Amino acid sequence: MKLSSKTLSNLPTGIIVPSYDRTKIKTRIVHLGFGAFHRAHQAVYADQLASQFDSDWGFCEVNLIGGEQQIADLNAQDNLYSVAEMASEGWSGRVIGVICRAIHAEVEGIDTVLEAMAEPQVAIVSITITEKGYCYQPATGKLIQDHPLIQHDTTNPRVPKSAPGVIVEALRLRRERQLPAFTVMSCDNMPENGHVTRNVILGLAKLQDEKLAEWIEANVSFPSTMVDRIVPAVTPETLEKIAQQLGGINDPAGVACEPFRQWVIEDNFVNGRPEWEKVGAELVQDVLPFEEMKLRMLNGSHSFLAYLGYLAGYQHINDCMQDDNYAAAARHLMLNEQAPTLRTQGVDLVAYADSLLNRYRNTALKHRTWQIAMDGTQKLPQRMLDSVRYHLANNGNFDCLALGIAAWIRYVGGVDEQGLAIEVSDPLLAQLQALVSGSQEGSARVKALLSLEVVFGNELPQNPKFVAAVTEAYEHLLKFGAKESVAKLAQRF
């Protein structure tokens, strides 16, 4: 038996189900990227608003590339799915009912997606497509004009394939039909994600139609956001536990996550917005200090633990936290190498760091180090390299950051410490493999990987202090291994 409108009454009494009239929910937000994080984060806020405050803000969910089964599963169960919050002391769950429609571009056609985005009542297009979906250079924040998808969308704007292309074309339709523009809201882990989104949308629009670009610039807003909730990839084991929680009802679209969640949003919307602040979101004028705090302290330490943990044989973040040296190194990284670079005011960063470590220790949260290690070329600049630049300019110490970067280089080498192949997942995989195969192990390997300009820019590979620190850390990894390298580092604190 699957989750559906008919089976809601069969759920255990502890499961929260929609208490509102779902027929009154309207498609006022089109969301690109119906992945696990969106299901566990933005949709939960909307569901709480509908339950507690009679909000009619609902979603049309869209997947552009991949995730066909996710959309099919959602359609098969009346656009319902469940969210399970995993804590060491037990699980709790709720069924989300604010999704009105679900579309896959490659199944129903891109025209169906564009028409959904051009519906008059749509006020927001939100996005969770991961960093690589923006077709941008992390080192500069600019559109990659020679990206294959962008090249296609430049010459075939009416049948776009990229997320930026789809948004530009939807805005063209709205302009042509004299409809108000929508707000474009990124919810991905990038510094100034609204600024990045604006860059790629306007960059592509200018390649296509200068007048359209001017209209977008004058009428569309791109608020930045900071999102936080640890959401591991869904596994068969996860789905089995969700089914048990639902009293034997299967939910292939279900997702599991930690209890904690946070959402900080720049209050800049051109066509209205939900009252997210009523259910715990923070609406602010400047998101950047919050973004930097989360990207560097949480995401930066996550990447540090992911690369060094994977190399040491730790499959999950909570496994890393059982190693006192890894826990100490992560805390030192947060407070001594990341916190000094931040612009936040009025935040107890020691308490924040300790709360993150406690979240990492959640034994119910099986967050794979391999999952966090994905797409490193898109993540390193904002999670580690910006902090390195700060320390180079201010003569600060960045030993943990250097070891984290060295661990990434070791990881993308494609062979672990036991001589087994690593399944490296990265949009620049071909370039990484070419750099690895074209360099000898050791300092030459470090020099080769640091030459990747789209990640490291021009100045870092030319900085002797930076190159020396990463090279030394890398040679320690080769000589002692990840576990011993972290232990030696932690013993110095």
Same domain, 99 and 156: yes
Look at strands 225-228 and 262-266 and give their pairing.
antiparallel
Question: Could you tell me if 280 and 292 lie in one domain?
Answer: no
Q: Which of 261, 284, 307 is the last residue of a domain?
A: 284
CB burial of 148-180 (b: ≥16 within 10 Å; e: otherwise) equals ebbeebbeebeebbbbbbbbbbbbbebbeeebe
124 assigned to some structural domain: yes
Asked if the model's pLDDT at residue 344 lies above 90, the reply is no
Domain annotation covers residue 1: no
One domain, residues 244 and 349? no
Mean pLDDT of 113-118: 98
User: Is 2 inside any structural domain?
Assistant: no
Read off the pTM: 0.90
* Same domain membership, residue 420 and residue 392: yes
Residue 274: domain span: 8-284
219 and 299 assigned to the same domain: no
Largest CA-CA distance found in the chain, in angstroms, rounded: 66
Which CATH number do you get for residue 451? 1.10.1040.10
Six token digits for residue 19: 């208490």
Are the beta carbons of 276 and 263 closer than 8 angstroms? Answer: yes
Q: What is the mean pLDDT of residues 56-84?
A: 97
Per-residue pLDDT tens for 9-53?
999 999 999 999 999 999 999 999 999 999 999 999 999 999 999
The answer as to whether 433 is a domain residue is: yes
What CATH number does the domain containing 81 carry?
3.40.50.720
Does the pLDDT value for residue 214 go beyond 90? yes
Identify the bridge partners of residue 29 per DSSP, sorted by sequence position. Answer: 59, 124
- Number of domains composing the chain: 2
Q: Where residue 345 falls among pLDDT bands split at 50, 70, 90?
A: confident
Residue 452 included in any domain: yes
Specify whether 306 is located in the same domain as 265.
no
Domain boundary pick from 249, 284, 319: 284
279 and 294 in a common domain: no
> What is the per-residue pLDDT for 141?
86
CA quadruple 335, 141, 174, 176: dihedral, nearest 10? 160
Phi-psi region of 135 (alpha: psi -120 to 50; beta: other; left: phi over 0): left
Q: How confident is the model at residue 89 (pLDDT cuts 50, 70, 90)?
A: confident
Identify whether 176 is part of a domain. Answer: yes
Q: Which of 238, 254, 284 is the last residue of a domain?
A: 284
Q: Is residue 35 part of a domain?
A: yes
One domain for residues 33 and 56: yes
Q: Are residues 204 and 323 both part of a single domain? A: no
Same domain? 356 vs 330: yes
The pLDDT tens digits of the residues spanning 275-332 come to: 999 999 999 999 999 999 999 999 999 999 999 999 999 999 999 999 999 999 999 9
Residues 107 and 125 in one domain: yes
| Assigned domain for 414 exists | yes
Q: Are residues 64 and 213 in the same domain?
A: yes
